[in-house]
DNA sequence: ATTTTAGTTCTTTTTTTGCAGAACTAAAAA
DNA sequence: TTTTTAGTTCTGCAAAAAAAGAACTAAAAT
């Protein structure tokens, strides 16, 4: 049976998922599943708890859960003697999540260095500027990653 | 008349725009316009240079340019005696760009604090954990913003 | 005064995404 | 052995996003 959510819980789910959709371009159903795990009274929910509470189809629920598992934002475990999985947040390794975001930025800086190298040689100042910026952004990003590792 | 791009330039445009589309969810035409400004031999291009080189319609070009202007990733100026605008990258204020991204994260941390406050009181450890994480993420993010300001 | 330039805005078409629903599957329970 | 549980996978559709094309506009040039 579906969980009964208080009005404030519903509102928070809306706020969280709106943020995730707009800022991180997380797809709606995925955002709502994640949000539900933040606000539900029980921090561990089953497939059907999620499906029934959010009024999603099985396929949408399955997809959303598998996406969240893949990016390691949630995890599951079994309770002894039970078949179904209990899903919960994994945000407690949030440094890892932030680190991944930073790593992605580093890739972009590499592309920029490639650009600086391959550009026409007729614009040396511009090329140099791109290279400097790539290196500078890279240094700062590395520093951020270090900062996260210490946390 | 359209610019003639070397094969390596085309490949770089593809790499840059693919990254922007996948990691930053920038829409295709916008990503390509930005990419073109990185790789074109001339760092300043007109509306029609862009339109013809990327084979875009006027409306798509107009939209893409205006979006990039709005988020301050590009800027334009006029050459004396000429009517058309010359667009160029503004990535040289990249710290500002990164700062904006970080500021957005802070909003999410605020929502999390709200969650911790509004959750059921029956899971004090879980609530406390959310609060601690929000505060911790916030501190580190602020530190990153400071790091960017120094750069 | 009218034509051209450098775009913008509106409408339509195309493409992509997100989800529902049904059919399917593998393991466990009865 | 068959039935149930706990999902997954496939097909199709509706809505939203992205871009095209045409009509429009304001300033400048002729």
Strand D–CB A25 distance below 7 A: no
Contact B41 A133 (CB under 8 A): no
CA of B45 to C1' of D26 (A): 23
Res B15: pLDDT: 98
B63 with B131, same domain: the answer is: no
Contacts of B36 (CB under 8 A, 6+ apart): B13, B45, B50, B53, B54
B16 with B60, same domain: the answer is: yes
Strand D–CB B28 distance below 7 A: yes
Angle at A10 between CA B113 and CA A4, to 5 degrees: 115
Q: Is residue B2 part of a domain?
A: no
Residue B151 binned pLDDT confidence (cut-offs 50, 70, 90): confident
Residue found by looking up tokens 């990185």 in the block: B38
Closest of B90, B6, B72, B86 to residue B40, by C-alpha: B6
Q: Is residue B1 part of a domain?
A: no
Res A139: pLDDT: 95
A36 with A77, same domain: the answer is: yes
A74 with A25, same domain: the answer is: yes
B60 with B132, same domain: the answer is: no
CA of B10 to C1' of D20 (A): 23
CB < 8 Å to B124, chain A: none
A75 with A97, same domain: the answer is: no
CB A28 within 8 A of CB A21: yes
Angle at A72 between CA B16 and CA B20, to 5 degrees: 10
Q: Is residue A121 part of a domain?
A: yes
> Which chain A residue shows the shortest CA-CA distance from B43?
A126
A98 with A35, same domain: the answer is: no
A73 with A108, same domain: the answer is: no
B109 with B139, same domain: the answer is: yes
B71 with B130, same domain: the answer is: no
Mean pLDDT over each residue of chain A, to the nearest integer: 96
- Number of structural domains chain A divides into: 2
- With a cut of 90, say whether residue A92 has pLDDT above it: no
Chain A residues 88-127 with Cβ under 7 Å of strand D are none
Contact B137 A25 (CB under 8 A): no
Contact A104 B38 (CB under 8 A): no
CATH of the domain at B80: 1.10.10.10
Res A49: pLDDT: 98
Of B45, B67, B89, the residue at which a domain comes to its end is B89
Contacts of B54 (CB under 8 A, 6+ apart): B29, B32, B33, B36, B61
Strand-pair partners of B88: B75
Positions of strand C less than 7 angstroms from a protein CB:
5-11, 17-23, 28-29
pLDDT tens digits for range B8-60 = 999 999 999 999 999 999 999 999 999 999 999 999 999 999 999 999 999 99
pLDDT tens digits for range A30-84 = 999 999 999 999 999 999 999 999 999 999 999 999 999 999 999 999 999 999 9
Of A89, A114, A136, the residue at which a domain comes to its end is A89
Residue B1 binned pLDDT confidence (cut-offs 50, 70, 90): confident
Q: Is residue B30 part of a domain?
A: yes
Give the total residue count for chain A: 151
Domain residues for B120? 93-150
Contact B136 A120 (CB under 8 A): no
CB < 8 Å to A42, chain B: 123
CA distance A151 to B43: 41
| Side-chain-side CA neighbours of residue A87 (13 Å) | 25
A55 with A72, same domain: the answer is: yes
A74 burial level (CB within 10 Å; 0-12, 13-18, 19+):
buried
Closest-CA distance of chain A to residue B120, Å: 6
CB < 8 Å to A123, chain B: 41-43
The pTM score is 0.95
A26 with A65, same domain: the answer is: yes
Res A91: pLDDT: 86
**DSSP state, residue A91:** G
Contact A39 B118 (CB under 8 A): yes
pLDDT tens digits for range B65-94 = 999 999 999 999 999 999 999 999 998 889
Res B34: pLDDT: 98
CB < 8 Å to B137, chain A: 94, 98
């Amino acid at each position: 049976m579906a969980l009964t959510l208080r009005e404030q819980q519903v509102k928070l789910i809306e706020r969280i998922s709106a943020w995730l959709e707009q800022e991180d371009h997380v797809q709606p159903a995925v955002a709502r599943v994640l949000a539900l795990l933040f606000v539900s009274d029980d921090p561990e929910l089953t497939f059907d708890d999620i499906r029934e509470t959010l009024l999603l189809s099985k396929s949408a629920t399955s997809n959303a859960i598998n996406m969240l598992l893949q990016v390691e934002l949630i995890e599951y475990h079994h309770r002894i003697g039970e078949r179904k999985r209990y899903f919960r947040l994994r945000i407690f390794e949030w440094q890892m999540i932030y680190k991944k975001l930073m790593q992605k930025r580093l890739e972009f800086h590499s592309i920029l260095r490639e650009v600086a190298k391959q550009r026409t040689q007729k614009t040396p100042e511009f090329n140099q500027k791109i290279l400097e910026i790539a290196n500078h952004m890279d240094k700062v990003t590395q520093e951020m990653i270090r900062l996260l590792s210490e946390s």
